[in-house]
Amino acid sequence: MQMLYNSDSFAVVSFDVPDAQGEGPLNRGGYEIVDKFARKEIFIQGALAESFKQGVQALIETGPSEEDMDSFIERFASLSQQPLVLH
């Protein structure tokens, strides 16, 4: 588990779970996106997680502002249905 991004609006955490043979860095992992204002979260994995990763990498190459990052993350966070629950 690794915190990748944390702003006033969103937090993004990466979960990397290698397969049983230790091959493939994101075989069963994914990303948890927390929308702090909506108080919702979503866990994305598989093709959606790969799309998110590639989009973030492309955005980083442009030197984005926090608003740019939040705008990109919001597209994925808008899919969240799970209310945020604190333990």
Among 55, 29, 53, which Cα is nearest to 43's? 29
Within a 10 A sphere around the Cβ of 82, how many other Cβ atoms? 11
Indicate the angle between helix axes 46-60 and 66-77, nearest 10 degrees: 170
Q: Which domain does 56 fall in, by range?
A: 2-83
pTM across the whole model: 0.81
Q: What is the pLDDT of residues 6-52, one digit of tens each?
A: 999 999 999 987 666 655 554 568 999 999 999 999 999 989 999 99
Give the count of domains, the chain.
1
Per-state percent for the chain, helix, strand, coil, to nearest 5: 30, 30, 40
